[in-house]
Chains A and B, each alone.
Chain A
Amino acid sequence: MSNVPLRTGLATRISIENVSKVYPDGTHAVRDVSLEVPEGQCMVLVGPSGCGKTTLLRMIAGLEAVTTGTLRIGDRIVNAVPPQDRNIAMVFQSYALYPHMTVYDNMAYALKRRRMTKHEVEARVRSTAETLELSGVLRKKPAALSGGQRQRVAMGRAIVRQPAAFLMDEPLSNLDAKLRTQMRAEIARIRAELGITTVYVTHDQIEALTLGDVVAVMDGGSVQQVSDPQSIYREPENLFVASFIGSPAMNTVMATTEASEDGMFVVFGDHRLRIPAGTLQRMPQLHGHRGSPVVLGIRPEDVGLLEGSEMDRDGRALTARLELSELLGGVVDLHFSIATQQVIADPERRDEATVADGDRSTIAPRARFTARIAAGSTPRDWRVGEPVDLLVDTTALHFFDPESGRSLAAGYAATTSSR
């Protein structure tokens, strides 16, 4: 199908060392961030609006000055290098196409600098256009294109250059949901073929988990966690990351731990779950928290229906009154209300509760608890108010220190808030 330009073989890494950005009015947009983007890999910067991810991207591009720290592309320190000379291509959120030029000229524009012959330029532009299915609109101007087409021209403009790295600033957020899913797959495919180092900024965690080789979750100008997508999902290092990643968001509630001859339990509201031995091994700090409050996290996907015959031997069951059920095609989201405090760490959801002073987490008096279960082949009528028996996968319980928000998994113990 395509004459895709071959890998340049010049995959470059990007090193961000202790980089900060402070604006003249004192705002700290980026605080002491250190990241390494390995050759040919895609690093996704994800976080809520205002977390500094776009500022960081623009610093890599050279559109914002680095206040302190060192920025390297390859082995070259580029702090003082103007954007013209960094050999980086960027896909803007608004696409930033040249309105007075045709699609062809838009893509050929960047090649002017190279002093390629007209034939060479034409060959490159046409083959890229073919990859992106733009061959039919080469003569048109941006105003005459659809949103999806414009997005592809923006991508084409970057690809044609075969740069050292791609920077993408929320390239899919202006597309409708269906197109977004399509283009996400396109981008993944192109990335796989070209193998060019990429830094990708998004607020959509699905894009983060599917497109990134490495994911950096950011909040308030700092990096909260850097890992591969699986680890981000399975082993969030703090409450923010745990709440931000995953949809529907992880249930986070205040709980206490109890020790008895049977073992250790976590108690919240009217419910009691046994903490499996394996979890205790991973989180020795739990012992230290005995009796004192702890934040319990359970992902909705880790809660299922208790089939009648299973015995409640392992302390994995809980029963709650159904408040709302939402059928989403193949899955059903069941919403419950639990008599314990809910901890809301995601700043975007802060409005749901009363705000506690100064704290990044807020507390709501009663907890909303969500379970996501497979819809099953037999349709079921969910009645509001009926008690539902649920089974929790207790090997996937998450625990966080209520003061610092840090995960209690071994190696991440902290008593002071360091966010």
Chain B
Amino acid sequence: MKLPAKGVGRRAFRLPAPLVLLAPFVGLFVLFYVVPIIWALRMSMYADRLIGGETFVGLDSYSRALHDPSIRTGLAHVGFLGFVQVPLTLLAALILALVLDGRALRARGLFRVGIFLPFAVPTVVAGLMWGFMYDDRLGPFGRIGDAIGVDTPNFLARAWALPAIGNIVLWGTTGVGMVIIYTALKAIPTDVLEAAALDGRRPWQIVREIKVPLVRPVLLLLLLLVAIAMLQLFNEPYILNQLAPDAVSRDFAPNLYAYTLAFNGNEISYGAAISLVLAAMVMIASGIALVAARLRDEPR
């Protein structure tokens, strides 16, 4: 069954080492990636009734999910974040990476570290800090607004809920994106850029015609990855809901909704159904992203 490692001829039978080495990871992977999906699937099809114990309800939960307005608003929220917020975030990351890569900036290391620092902060704590800062009593924005004569809005109002969360995502994600794009920029051979300069192109033309096209694969991949991550958003809406329940409701994002159903509403099977649908959406999207990435890597 097992072929010998490359470079070595046929061997006498030994305990299959690769199996031994792979077992822990594969075992845990199956246990915590595969089984839960199957389990949740089963759970979503049974409701725990007070009378009669478990009953098979089949696809009831799923049809309920289809018509549930909370799901629709939840998906709209994460959809907005995924399709609008994330591209903006990555655009910001691209611009910052280009500035970092260019010649104009001084003290490059300082900016690199500083902008990357938010990555070290857990999203929950980031949500907490921003949540406090959004609060008119605690945060600096009110005072700053007064000083420059601008009426600062109440960021913890419902109308501001989505941008407020979007801002936290922007804050936490830009630095990482910047570093990844910057690394890709640095991978461009210097003499290609020198050749462009000798060909008479100005710095911003070189950015547009050489640098950006060459990092496009990385950009697209990042876009897909982060957008997919938005689908299962939980931490930020959760903490903002704690701080400002009027602004951010418990069904603000689908994942939060599922959690609320399971833990506060005792509707386990419905919660399981939603989390499963969400997982399915994430996996399909990931699959598409993977195929797209593979296709791009094929030699033309």
Contacts and interface: CB of A to CB of B under 8 A. Distances in A.
Interface stretch (A94-102, A343-351, A359-367): A94-102
B198 A84 contact: yes
B194 A84 contact: no
B214 A94 contact: no
Contact of B192 (A85, A86, A96, A161): A96
20 contacts: A63-B194, A63-B198, A82-B197, A83-B194, A83-B198, A84-B200, A84-B202, A92-B195, A94-B191, A97-B195, A98-B192, A98-B210, A109-B199, A109-B201, A109-B209, A113-B200, A141-B300, A143-B300, A144-B299, A157-B195
B299 A92 contact: no
A19 interface: no
Interface in A75-118: 82-86, 88-90, 92, 94, 96-100, 109-110, 112-113
A303 interface: no
A100 B214 contact: yes
B196 A98 contact: yes
A395 B211 CA distance: 60
Given A83-B194, A83-B198, A113-B199, A96 B299 contact: no
Interface residues of A, number: 27
Contacts of B198: 61-63, 83-84, 86, 88-90
B203 to A, nearest CB: 9
Question: Size range of the interface on B?
Answer: 10 to 19
Contacts of B300: 141, 143-144
A196 to B, nearest CB: 15
Contacts of B195: 90, 92, 96-98, 157
Interface string A125-168: 00000000000000001011000000000000100010000000
Contacts of A94: 189, 191
Interface in B184-219: 189, 191-192, 194-202, 209-210, 213-214
B192 A113 contact: no
Contacts of A90: 194-195, 198
Contact of A110 (B192, B199, B202, B299): B199
B199 to A, nearest CB: 4
A96 B197 contact: no
Given A92-B191, A94-B191, A144-B300, A100 B213 contact: yes
Nearest to B188: A99
Contacts of A85: 200
Given A88-B198, A89-B198, A90-B198, 10 more contacts: A61-B198, A62-B197, A89-B199, A92-B194, A98-B195, A98-B196, A109-B199, A112-B199, A113-B199, A144-B300
B34 to A, nearest CB: 38
Given A143-B299, A144-B300, A96 B194 contact: yes
A88 to B, nearest CB: 6
B200 to A, nearest CB: 4
Interface of A: 61-63, 82-86, 88-90, 92, 94, 96-100, 109-110, 112-113, 141, 143-144, 157, 161
A96 B189 contact: yes
A340 B199 CA distance: 56
Contacts of A86: 198
Interface in B109-156: none
A113 B201 contact: yes
Q: Considering the complex of A and B, which 4 residue pairs feature the smallest CB-CB distances, nearest first?
A: A110-B199, A96-B191, A113-B200, A96-B195
Contacts of B210: 98
Nearest to B210: A98
Contacts of B200: 84-85, 110, 112-113
Given A96-B195, A98-B196, A144-B300, A84 B201 contact: yes
B202 A99 contact: no
A2 B199 CA distance: 24
Contacts of A161: 199
Nearest to B191: A96
A119 B214 CA distance: 28
Interface centre among A86, A99, A157, by most chain B C-beta atoms within 10 angstroms, is: A99
Nearest to A167: B198
A99 B194 contact: no
B198 to A, nearest CB: 5
B195 to A, nearest CB: 4
A121 to B, nearest CB: 13
A62 to B, nearest CB: 8
Nearest to B209: A109
Nearest to B217: A100
Contacts of B202: 84
